[in-house]
Amino acid sequence: MNPSASGWIKKLLIEVSETMYSQIETSEFYNKLKHAGFIYGSNITVVLDIVKPFDFTEEERCKINLLLTYYFIYKKEQPDEDFIDNLIRYNKSISNQKRSFFEELFGDKKPDSLLEKMIHKRIHIDDNFISKSFNYFLINALLFVDVLGYQRFLKNEDGIENYVNTLESALETIVFSVIDAKSKKTEYDQNLIKLFEGSIRHKNSELPSYDDAVAFINEPLEKLYVIDLVCMASWTDMVIDKEEREFLNRLKIDLSLNNEDIAKSMDGINIFYDEHKDDVAFLSSKNLAQSFYDNSSKVVSKLIKRNSKRLIKELSESKEAMTLLAQSTQRNLSDDEQKKIQTQLLDIFKSIPSLAIFMLPGGMLLLPLFVKFIPKLLPSAFDENRIEDKD
């Protein structure tokens, strides 16, 4: 099952139907989502290890986790409507666009294919933020807001868009209150601010007050999510200082929670960061440009490997592309040569669905990386002087 190729949703749902995960209690499933990193915006694993081990990118793990979470909520409510059709209706109902971006772009009418494209678009942060931060593969950290909206949608569809927007604004008020209260902001704090700001769907000029924000949080999952985000915002080098503990205690009272809930949430973020400190992007000491390069390199490398046979076939039909790729292993291509090879690659991408990412906003930034990696990852005929690595 490859979440970067068409048809992955249908295949995943077939695999899921063979499991008993829908019988898990909601609170337990939520904890599994934390362990997987989905709640923290860093998808380290696939929830419950439902799908067979595979070398997924973080983007692909995020797609799987989001869909599995939607499906878990759907199974709990057991509506009459088909899952894919129901989820498409929900996504359209919370969008401020009359038509889906992907419907306009591709004219796709197949429900599962359309949902795949909706999810692909949704897991990435806003394009404007992408261009500003130069960090295209930063994953949306507030996707659980969409899940909470879906839970409400299955119970009552009325005013669902307003619910999602108000919930997001309430979370923004509460979480940023924690960060703003810090007298000295670390690099972690700055990165977290950028992550949350980029993940917010609707930018509101006027946010609710703290009291109004807290009053809106009533459901059990909403409360757990708020506490986890606050602990995430409070965390700095595994220390939550006095002022932040006081804020957590106030929030505990306002949300009618107990000490155990707070303790579990604090332990959860400490354990997650301790176990995965080398895998969480904003814990790294690398700057955004370096993170962009490293993350993009991994994704481009995997995409080439997975589609190597198809790429060889397509490239072999272009003598000029083959010549330029071979020359790129010996010298830097000129600007005109770069443009030629990029134009030919874009034509090839149109015929390979899993490479459509390069045709989306920001995808052009990755083409130089693609040109760099193709000679290394395709057969040695592309590079006569290459010495193959030994295992």
Q: What pLDDT, on a 0 to 100 scale, did the predictor assign at position 376? A: 62
pTM: 0.74
Q: What pLDDT, on a 0 to 100 scale, did the predictor assign at position 167? A: 95
Which residues lie below 8 Å from residue 20, measured CB to CB, with a gap of 6+? Answer: none
Which residues lie below 8 Å from residue 99, measured CB to CB, with a gap of 6+? Answer: none
Look up residue 205 and give its DSSP letter: S
Residue 330 above 80 pLDDT? Answer: no
Phi-psi region of 239 (alpha: psi -120 to 50; beta: other; left: phi over 0): beta
**Residue 46 one-letter amino acid:** V
Which residues lie below 8 Å from residue 362, measured CB to CB, with a gap of 6+? Answer: 127, 130, 131, 136
Q: What pLDDT, on a 0 to 100 scale, did the predictor assign at position 386? A: 44
Residue 299 above 80 pLDDT? Answer: no
Which residues lie below 8 Å from residue 355, measured CB to CB, with a gap of 6+? Answer: 303, 307, 348, 349
Residues 217-265: tens digit of each pLDDT = 999 999 999 999 999 988 875 666 777 878 888 999 999 999 999 999 9
Residues 70-95: tens digit of each pLDDT = 999 999 988 899 999 999 999 999 98
* Bigger pLDDT: 166 vs 239: 166
Average pLDDT of span 194-201: 80
* Bigger pLDDT: 377 vs 46: 46
Evaluate whether 234 touches 242 at the Cβ level (below 8 Å). Answer: no
Arithmetic mean of pLDDT over the chain: 80
Average pLDDT of span 370-380: 64
Q: Which stretches of the chain are DSSP H helices? A: 8-17, 26-36, 58-77, 83-93, 101-106, 111-122, 127-133, 143-155, 160-180, 187-199, 210-216, 220-234, 242-254, 259-276, 288-306, 308-316, 319-328, 335-349, 367-377
Average pLDDT of span 103-124: 77
State the residue for tokens 């005929």: 381
First to last CA, the chain: 26
Q: What pLDDT, on a 0 to 100 scale, did the predictor assign at position 128? A: 41
| 34: nearest Cα among 25, 43, 26 | 43
3-state secondary structure at position 287: coil
3-state secondary structure at position 227: helix
3-state secondary structure at position 139: strand
C-alpha distances out from residue 34 to 10, 144, 145, Å: 25, 11, 14
Domain locations along the chain: 8-283, 288-382
Cα gap 278→269, rounded to integer Å? 15
